[in-house]
């Protein structure tokens, strides 16, 4: 006889609890049905509730010369069914991902599944490859699976990923994939027409075909999820406990991730990347499980999350139409309000989470002073060379002699026009890069996280929103500077106000900043889509980060703020060194921790906000430059600050030059180039920090 104990049976659900769970599902189904019926009464045509009721009773009438039947089956019913299908798919996928990672912030969006699926479909559209729905789903599945595998591999799904690390990894990968998507949209305008609005999530359907073809796939994914329900219940007890109870842990994880990615892929194929439904729906159900205990069982949790997802999608669409009117709301993707909702959920969860010290720490060796001098000299020489190349390179390549003639004012007209355009762009890239690097250095030091930066914290998104408001409102362009700075600082003030509750904790600050960034980006998209379509490509390119059309007047505010902020931060280098250690060391040395942290972050927010004037919204500079500086010069901020500023200026100048020359005369925005260059480094940094943490 074997000495190995037999696996204990999986937990069972009593009849009483099963009945109460069924009652909850029935109530949710009823609410979804009522909301769907309300949705059917809305639309751009004149068909109302009474017209639909008479049609159901057998009358065959026309409203405005259009048969009621055509309106119902050709527009409204397909939209409702698409909303239900997408909501069920994303709600179920979010529930599965949260359970498998044991993380309340996991979702198709925070794991970059949506971004991967969207990029894959956009790439096929740009290539002009026409594929049927089932093939589109397979393409989206492949892209989403690769993205999810990358994020989960970086954070370590097997042990339950820490919230901050998961969101940082997912945000970085999603930003890189979104940058690649944006580049594809810009470079292949003809083949990707309409994909920008669709990329925000749209329920618009031509007929019932897409929803009916997607339904079997969603049903299959839901069945697989329900078959895994009891395993997921036990897996929540921990890997060791689940294995002792006979649950195949690895196989369960693989099947769960595959089911979640399949559901996400089919929803992206059907309605585009509808943001944050997969986060908000499971969170709402799990919060309700605190009062309704039966919802903690996956047999009821999974269908409840699916129904809650359908309800959220329909409510977002129907409320948008009720507030703006059907005609105005027709141009606004449903993904805009769902993104706002998801951002609120992230902030609420961040306020509920304790700071666990899970942020990865930078492991940096001590560097000598001669090495620091060598790094500064080499960086300065490389920056000077990049500036020179930036002035000479472009669709028209110049020589150094042409530059000398331009400086003397005797250059031919063609050369003069070229340099008059390039010089302000190079100056904008250099000053903005230095400002973003200094801001990133301050943020990373104050929140003690080498993976933080102004772009991830939402400060640049806030500044970008201010600029979009000016452009889309027809206000005078000189107000753009003021609006960008004011909204960037207001964003920081909001993040700081929310973060200070219960102590100004670094992890909480990061998560709240990420949530606010999502909300502000969605608002910018909302304003962009309501603006003049003629301006959309120009504004979209600007939001992607570009120096196009910059003048020295745009560079001046950045230079002034940089000249003021640099000595201020340098004077506080000792406080930065102490804040970067831990929470107790600053107090031991007499540093007023909260006050100093708030002052430093205010300076960083100002730098990030004003940089938007020169280069638009550029990410990863504030991440990569400070980390490279620490790796090359050591952790002392007296050395990190000048090295990071030189490296930041070098990175943005190089990205701008590459963007202007790689496919000249067409151009790639500097922000997209920076994201494509910075994201792989960020991913490597996450992997390295995980490896070093595992080795300790």
Q: What is the mean pLDDT of residues 496-523?
A: 75
Task: Pick the more confident residue, 507 or 513.
Answer: 513
Task: Assign domain 369-689 to its CATH superfamily.
Answer: ABC transporter involved in vitamin B12 uptake, BtuC (1.10.3470.10)
Contacts of 59 (CB under 8 A, 6+ apart): none
Distances from the Cα of 183 to the Cα of 95, 216, 310, 674, angstroms: 32, 34, 32, 12
Instruction: State the DSSP code for 471.
Output: H
Among the listed residues 511, 516, 105, the one whose alpha carbon sits nearest the alpha carbon of residue 343: 516
Q: Give the residue extent of every domain in the chain.
A: 17-352, 369-689
pLDDT at residue 315 above 90?
A: no
| pLDDT tens figures, 210-231 | 888 888 989 999 999 999 989 9
CB-count burial class (<10 Å; 0-12, 13-18, 19+) for 618: buried
* Residue 670 contacts residue 652 (beta carbons within 8 Å): yes
Average pLDDT score over residue span 657-675: 79
Q: Which two tokens mark 300?
A: 């009821």
pTM (2 d.p.): 0.75
Q: Please report the pLDDT score of residue 223 as a whole number.
A: 93
Pick the more confident residue, 114 or 71: 114
User: What pLDDT is stored for residue 130 in this prediction?
Assistant: 67
Non-local (6+) Cβ contacts of 483 within 8 A are 466, 467, 469, 470, 475
Say which residue, 620 or 134, is predicted with more confidence: 620
Helices vs strands, H then E, count in the chain: 30, 2
- CA–CA distances in Å: residue 583 to residues 228, 320, 357, 593: 43, 45, 11, 8
Q: Find tokens 């940096």 and name the residue.
A: 364
pLDDT in tens, 343-385: 787 788 777 765 444 444 545 555 677 888 898 999 999 999 9
Confidence at residue 15, expressed as pLDDT on a 0 to 100 scale: 43
Greater pLDDT, 324 or 378: 378
Alpha carbons 643 and 654: distance in angstroms, whole number = 16
Lowest mean pLDDT among 306-315, 553-562, 584-593, 618-627: 584-593
Other CB atoms within 10 A of residue 57 CB: 7
Instruction: Determine the Cα–Cα distance for residues 187 and 511; give it in Å rounded to an integer.
Output: 33
Question: Is residue 535 very low, low, confident or very high in pLDDT (cuts 50, 70, 90)?
Answer: low
Instruction: Write down the mean pLDDT value for the chain.
Output: 79
Q: How confident is the model at residue 520 (pLDDT cuts 50, 70, 90)?
A: confident
Burial 407-427 (b: 16+ CB within 10 A, else e): eeeebeeebeebbebbbbbbb
What DSSP assignment string belongs to 497-542? HHHTTTS--HHHHHHHHHHHHHHHHHHHHHHHHHS-GGGHHHHHHH
Distance CA 665, CA 450 (A): 37
Helix 479-499 × helix 593-615 angle, to 10°: 150
Q: Residue 8 pLDDT more than 60?
A: no
**pLDDT above 70 coverage of the chain, percent:** 81
The pLDDT of residue 302? 93
- How many other C-beta atoms are found inside a 10 Å radius of the C-beta of residue 446? 25
* Kind and range of the H or E run holding 603: helix 593-615
Half-sphere exposure of 452 (CA within 13 A, CB side): 31
From CA 101, how far away is CA 151, in angstroms rounded? Answer: 11
Q: Tell me the range of 71-80, 108-117, 154-163, 295-304 where mean pLDDT is highest.
A: 295-304
Confidence of residue 158 (pLDDT cuts 50, 70, 90): very low
64: confidence class by pLDDT, cuts 50, 70, 90: low
| Secondary structure (3-state) at 67 | strand
Q: Is the pLDDT of residue 7 over 50?
A: no
Highest mean pLDDT among 101-110, 301-310, 442-451, 478-487: 301-310
pLDDT tens across 419-449, in order?
A: 888 889 999 999 999 999 999 898 888 877 6
Give residue 585's pLDDT band: very low, low, confident or very high (50, 70, 90).
confident
Helix, strand, coil abundance in the chain, percent, nearest 5: 75, 0, 25
Q: How many CA atoms lie within 13 A of 426 on its CB side?
A: 19
Q: For residues 329 and 325, what is the distance between their CA atoms, to the nearest angstrom? A: 6
Q: Would you place residue 191 in the very low, low, confident or very high pLDDT band (cuts 50, 70, 90)?
A: low
SS3 244: helix
Interval 169-177 mean pLDDT: 79
The pLDDT value given to residue 304: 93
> Which range among 90-94, 105-109, 324-328 shows the weakest confidence by mean pLDDT?
324-328
Dump the DSSP string for 146-212.
Answer: HHHHHHHHHHTGGG---HHHHHHHHHHHHHHHHHHHHHHHHHTTTTTTTHHHHTT-----SSSHHHH
The total of other beta-carbon atoms located within 10 Å of residue 677's CB is 18
Q: CA-based angle 638:643:645, to the nearest 5?
A: 105
pLDDT at 264 over 60: yes
pLDDT at residue 63 in the model: 64
Task: Determine the straight-line distance between the first and last CA of the chain, rounded to whole angstroms.
Answer: 42
Q: In the block, which residue shows the tokens 């498998």? A: 100
Report in angstroms the alpha-carbon separations of 633 from 171, 375, 423, 582: 28, 7, 31, 21
CA angle 581, 587, 588 (to 5 degrees): 85
Average pLDDT over residues 546-571: 88
Burial of 533 (0-12, 13-18, 19+ CB in 10 A): exposed
Q: Is the peptide bond before 334 cis (omega within 30 degrees of 0)?
A: no
Q: Stretch 308-316: mean pLDDT, rounded?
A: 90
Tokens representing 363 are 């492991």
Q: Do domains 17-352 and 369-689 have the same CATH topology?
A: yes
pLDDT at 647: 93
DSSP string of 266-294, one letter each residue: HHHHHH---TTHHHHHHHHHHHHTTTSGG
**CATH pick for 17-352 out of 2.40.100.10, 2.30.110.10, 1.10.3720.10, 1.10.3470.10:** 1.10.3470.10
Q: What angle do the packed helices 670-695 and 637-661 form, to 10 degrees?
A: 140
63-77, 216-230, 295-309: range with lowest mean pLDDT: 63-77
pLDDT at 41: 81
In contact, 226 and 303? CB cutoff 8 Å? yes
Nearest CA-CA partner of 386 in 650, 642, 618: 650
Lowest mean pLDDT among 453-462, 486-495, 626-635: 453-462
pLDDT of residue 17: 57
When pLDDT is cut at 50, 70 and 90, the band that residue 637 belongs to is confident
């Amino acid at each position: 006889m074997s000495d190995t104990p037999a696996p204990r049976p999986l937990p069972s659900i009593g009849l009483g609890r099963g009945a109460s769970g069924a009652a909850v599902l029935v109530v949710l189904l009823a609410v979804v049905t009522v909301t769907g019926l309300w949705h059917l009464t809305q639309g751009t045509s004149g068909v109302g509730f009474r017209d639909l009721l008479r049609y159901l009773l057998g009358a065959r009438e026309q409203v405005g010369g259009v048969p009621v039947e055509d309106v119902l089956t050709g527009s409204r019913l397909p939209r409702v069914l698409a909303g239900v299908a997408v909501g069920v798919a994303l709600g179920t996928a979010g529930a599965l991902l949260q359970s498998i990672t044991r993380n309340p912030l996991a979702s198709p969006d925070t794991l970059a599944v949506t971004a991967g699926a969207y990029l894959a479909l956009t790439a096929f559209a740009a290539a002009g490859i026409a594929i049927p729905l089932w093939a589109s789903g397979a393409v989206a599945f492949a892209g989403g699976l690769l993205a999810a595998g990358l994020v989960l591999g970086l954070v370590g799904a097997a042990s339950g990923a820490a919230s901050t690390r998961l969101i940082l990894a997912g945000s970085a990968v999603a930003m890189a994939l979104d940058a690649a998507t944006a580049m594809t949209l810009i470079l292949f305008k003809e083949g990707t027409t309409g994909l920008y609005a669709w990329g925000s999530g749209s329920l618009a359907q031509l007929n019932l075909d897409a929803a009916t073809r997607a339904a079997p796939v969603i049903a299959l994914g839901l069945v697989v999820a329900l078959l895994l329900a009891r395993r997921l219940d036990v897996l929540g007890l921990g890997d060791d406990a689940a294995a002792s109870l006979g649950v195949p842990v690895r196989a369960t994880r693989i099947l769960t991730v595959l089911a979640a990615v399949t559901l996400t892929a089919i929803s992206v194929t059907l309605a585009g990347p509808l943001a944050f439904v997969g986060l908000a729906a499971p969170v709402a159900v799990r919060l309700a499980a605190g009062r309704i205990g039966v919802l903690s069982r996956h047999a009821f949790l999974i269908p409840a999350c699916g129904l809650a997802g359908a309800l959220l999608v329909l409510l977002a669409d129907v409320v948008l139409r009720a507030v703006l009117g059907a005609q105005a709301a027709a141009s606004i993707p449903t993904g805009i309000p769902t993104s706002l909702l998801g951002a609120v959920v992230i902030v609420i969860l961040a306020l509920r989470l304790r700071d666990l010290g899970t942020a990865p720490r930078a492991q940096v060796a001590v560097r000598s002073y001669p090495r620091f001098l060598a790094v500064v000299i080499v960086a300065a020489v490389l920056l000077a060379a990049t500036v020179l190349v930036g002035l000479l390179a472009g669709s028209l390549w110049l020589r150094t002699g042409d530059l000398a003639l331009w400086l003397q004012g005797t250059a031919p007209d063609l050369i003069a026009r070229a340099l008059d355009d390039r010089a302000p762009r190079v100056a904008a890239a250099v000053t903005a890069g230095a400002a973003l690097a200094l801001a990133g250095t301050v943020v990373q030091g104050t929140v003690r996280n080498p993976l933080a930066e102004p772009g991830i914290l939402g400060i640049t998104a806030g500044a970008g929103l201010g600029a979009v408001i000016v452009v889309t409102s027809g206000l005078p362009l000189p107000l753009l500077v003021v609006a960008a700075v004011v909204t960037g600082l207001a964003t920081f003030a909001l993040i700081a106000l929310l973060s200070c509750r219960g102590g100004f904790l670094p992890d909480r600050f990061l998560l709240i900043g990420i949530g606010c960034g999502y909300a502000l980006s969605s608002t910018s998209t909302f304003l962009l889509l309501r603006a003049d379509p003629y301006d959309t490509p120009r504004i979209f390119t600007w939001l992607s980060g570009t120096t196009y059309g910059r003048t020295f007047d745009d560079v001046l505010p950045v230079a002034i703020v940089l000249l003021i902020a640099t000595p201020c931060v340098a004077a506080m280098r000792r406080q930065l060194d102490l804040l970067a250690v831990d929470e107790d060391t600053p107090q031991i040395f007499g540093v007023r921790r909260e006050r100093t942290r708030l002052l430093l972050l205010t300076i960083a927010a100002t730098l990030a906000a004003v940089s938007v004037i020169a280069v638009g919204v550029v990410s990863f500079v504030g991440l990569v430059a400070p980390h490279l500086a620490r790796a090359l010069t050591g952790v002392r901020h007296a050395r990190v600050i000048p090295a990071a500023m030189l490296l930041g200026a070098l990175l943005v100048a190089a990205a701008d030059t590459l963007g202007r020359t790689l496919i000249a005369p067409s151009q790639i925005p500097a922000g997209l180039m920076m994201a494509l260059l910075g994201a792989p480094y960020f991913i490597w940094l996450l992997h390295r920090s995980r490896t070093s943490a595992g080795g300790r």
